[in-house]
Amino acid sequence: MKLLAPRASNRNDELLSPPILVYNPHRLIYKKPMPILRPNTLEFFSHSPEQTRRVGIRLGSLLRPGQLICLEGDLGSGKTTLVQGIAQGWGSADPVSSPTYVIINEYRRPEGALLFHTDAYRLSGTALDIAVLDLPGMLERGAVVLEWADLIRAHLPAERLWVQMQYMALEQRHLVFSPVGKVYEGLSKELEKMIFGAS
């Protein structure tokens, strides 16, 4: 088989050439291949910070003391925006900020129920760090939302709701809710009904 040398470009060749991908902040751009989802997994594409916050409000309204929400995602993936909604749905009027430097923030309902917002970004995963975090103690006293949970995955309870968040474009985020355990499967199903009206 004889290989032909490339010809000089002309207008007709340009029409047949493969397109060049150009960054456009107004279009959805996938940075990684999309995962094949497991049963009971909920997938949501947010098109604005407000939409991410509203999903959080719905999740927060379903959250109960003793439950753990684990957030995984790079900087700028929308974790704190989601937690702002969760705290509002939980019933707290406290302002929400990232706990990266303080490790733990507490948000209260008017009747005193606690939502702990914590961050493992600065934890090394040592036994001392895990003891200082005292996740079991927080779960006895309220619900917990943990940012950068993937950094201490080995030290987390087996049952939890895992939320993977990914930056897609300027205001677009990809959220995947993966429940582990019957309680969290039920929570995920209720969240799906609230978001999509699914039966």
Tens-level pLDDT at each residue, the chain (199 residues): 444 444 444 444 444 444 444 445 555 444 555 556 677 899 999 999 999 999 999 999 999 999 999 999 998 899 999 999 999 999 998 889 887 777 899 999 988 899 999 999 888 778 888 888 899 999 999 999 999 999 999 999 999 999 999 999 889 999 999 999 999 999 999 999 999 885 5
Q: Which amino acid makes up residue 1?
A: M
Round to whole Å and give the CA distance between 182 and 184. 5
Element (H, E) at 166: strand 160-169
Dihedral, CA atoms, 168, 171, 172, 177, nearest 10 degrees? 110
Token digits of residue 131 = 């003891």
CATH superfamily of 40-196: P-loop containing nucleotide triphosphate hydrolases (3.40.50.300)
Q: What pLDDT is attached to residue 27?
A: 54
Q: Are 143 and 62 in contact (CB under 8 A)?
A: no
154 C-beta neighbours (distance < 10 Å), count: 7
User: Comparing C-alpha atoms, which of 98, 120, 116 is closest to residue 107?
Assistant: 116
Q: What is the pTM of this model?
A: 0.78
Residue pair 100/123 in contact (Cβ under 8 Å)? The answer is no
Amino acid 121: pLDDT: 87
Q: How is residue 32 written in tokens?
A: 């990684």
Q: How far apart are CA 143 and CA 128, in angstroms?
A: 22
Task: For residue 162, list its beta bridge partners.
Answer: 70, 178
Q: What is the rounded CA–CA span in Å between residue 184 and residue 143?
A: 13
Q: What is the C-alpha to C-alpha distance for residues 84 and 57, in angstroms, rounded to an integer?
A: 8
